[in-house]
Amino acid sequence: MSDTEVELATKWEPSTRVVEAIAEAEGVDPIALDPPLNAVIDLDALDELFSPAGGVPRPSGRVEFEYDDYDVVVESDGAVTVEPKDAPSP
In a domain, 35, yes or no: yes
The whole-number pLDDT of residue 8 equals 43
In a domain, 14, yes or no: yes
In a domain, 37, yes or no: yes
Kindly report the backbone phi and psi dihedral angles of residue 6, in degrees, each rounded to the nearest multiple of 5, phi listed first: -115, 125
The whole-number pLDDT of residue 77 equals 86
Does residue 38 register a pLDDT over 90?
yes
Q: What is the mean pLDDT of the segment spanning 24-39? A: 95
Total domain count for the chain? 1
| pLDDT confidence band for 3 (50 / 70 / 90) | low
In a domain, 90, yes or no: no
Task: Domain of residue 18: give its range.
Answer: 4-84
In a domain, 42, yes or no: yes
Query: Does the pTM exceed 0.85?
Result: no
Chain centre to alpha carbon of residue 30: 13
| Cα distance between residue 52 and residue 54, in whole Å | 6
In a domain, 89, yes or no: no
37 or 12: which leads in pLDDT: 37
Does residue 66 register a pLDDT over 80?
yes
